[in-house]
Amino acid sequence: MSEATGAAKIAPGDNSTLAFDVERARADFPILGQEVHGRPLVYLDSAASAQKPRQVIDAMSHAYETCYANVNRGVHRMSQLTTDAFEGGREKVAQFLNAGSADEIVFTRNATEAFNLIASSFGRAHLGAGDEVVISELEHHANIVPWQLVREQLGIVLRVAPIDDAGNFLLEEFEALLGPRTKLVALTHVSNALGTVVPVKQVIDLAHGRNIPVLLDGCQATPHFAVDVRALDVDFYIFTGHKVYGPTGIGALYGKKDLLNALPPYQGGGDMIASVSFEKTTFKDAPHRFEAGTPPIVEVIGLSAAIDYIAALGQENIAAHESGLRTYAEERLARVPGVRLVGTAREKASIVSFVMDNAHPHDIGTIVDRAGVAVRTGHHCAQPLMQRLDLAATARASFGLYNTRGEVETLAEALESVSEIFG
């Protein structure tokens, strides 16, 4: 594991040298057999949402067809079977992150709800006027807007850690922001717009040296390399199911057990209570105190299947495959006339953002779509980052375990067509 980033150190490699069979993996994804505009689908938008393998689809269908019921409520067999599968999913997520206990895993509807949960609950418990939360210029809106809402409610101060023009996180400048009023550091692990891998272990060590807890956004980290929350010693860690080849509608929040149990509930309702009277309500311990109402039952089962799928392929194999793809893509796209890569940090995940001379990113996306290539265009829910880079938008190719060098070549050829059109 990289001491700085919390990611395994994998050298870029050629597909043929890996223990990972990309063609065999592709066969598990039914959607990849489609054509778009008469051309084979080249899906390069996994950072927005990854496609789903048959194993995930089948697990969710099986749950609906054979054992669906509400969880943690019924004594009948269907409820017991589904509860076992649901809570087994919590154990699976704990293993995926190497958490100390399944009780440190809270299920939410998505990562955004998890950020709002911490902002609301941690904010009420620990923040007051003048207290500071440190974020960075790399953040997704999900780790900006909830803190702005807390700022409006409580009068906190948001401090923003800078990056350089290449997208590198500036550790010394970050450290200078930490002060006596800093109550939380909330940073992305991997930038969704640039692919920058933040040196999170060093961040955590600096913050903990001042008794400041750390929250990490792991949405773009968990699909690409193994994350060990205990080795990092991170206090809170968030990721979402649909980016790790699981379903939408499910997110996961890891929190150290003592910290979670010290926070007030985020929402009130069924299943998070110990007892209710008209005079007083008492609440369960974490994680259930944060899971009001019927949870995303079958989505958890789908997420569990996705984690099994990733584990079977091997996270180191996936990381090496994607690292090789990114390196090849950066070299190949740099040779396309008019292309300028955006985000060339020293440590990167498999995300390649770029702009082209005279062509708006939306035009780029529309033209390459005619070649069957799906890329993301726009501000990527990171408008402050775009403003920092003096850009309105970029085009973004993001790679998953099912992508190939041939697909990179298809993208490059499509961009050469864009270059010819806009000259």
Q: Which residues are catalytic?
A: 381
Tell me the β-bridge partners of 17: none
Contact 190, 349 (CB under 8 A): yes
Tell me the β-bridge partners of 252: 107, 239
Q: Where are the beta strands (DSSP E) in 79-131?
A: 105-108
Which of 200, 201, 215, 198 is closest to 164 using CA atoms? 198
Tell me the β-bridge partners of 126: none
Contact 106, 287 (CB under 8 A): yes
For residue 212, which phi and psi values (nearest 5 degrees)? Answer: -105, 125
Q: Are strands 339-342 and 376-378 parallel, antiparallel or unpaired?
A: unpaired
Q: What is the CA radius of gyration of the chain?
A: 22
- Sign, Cα dihedral of 355, 361, 367, 373: positive
| Number of Cβ atoms within 10 Å of the Cβ of 291 | 23
Query: What distance in Å separates the CA atoms of residue 85 and residue 88, rounded to the nearest whole number?
Result: 5
> 257 CB contacts (<8 Å, ≥6 apart)?
100, 101, 103, 104, 286
Task: Kindly tell me the burial class for residue 312, based on how many C-beta atoms sit within 10 Å of its own C-beta (0-12, 13-18, 19 or more).
Answer: exposed
Angle, in degrees to the nearest 10, between helices 111-126 and 145-154: 20
Is the bond preceding 287 in cis, omega lying within 30 degrees of 0?
Answer: yes
- Sign, Cα dihedral of 347, 353, 356, 358: negative
Q: Are strands 157-161 and 132-136 parallel, antiparallel or unpaired?
A: parallel
**Chain centre to alpha carbon of residue 339:** 27
Tell me the β-bridge partners of 186: 215
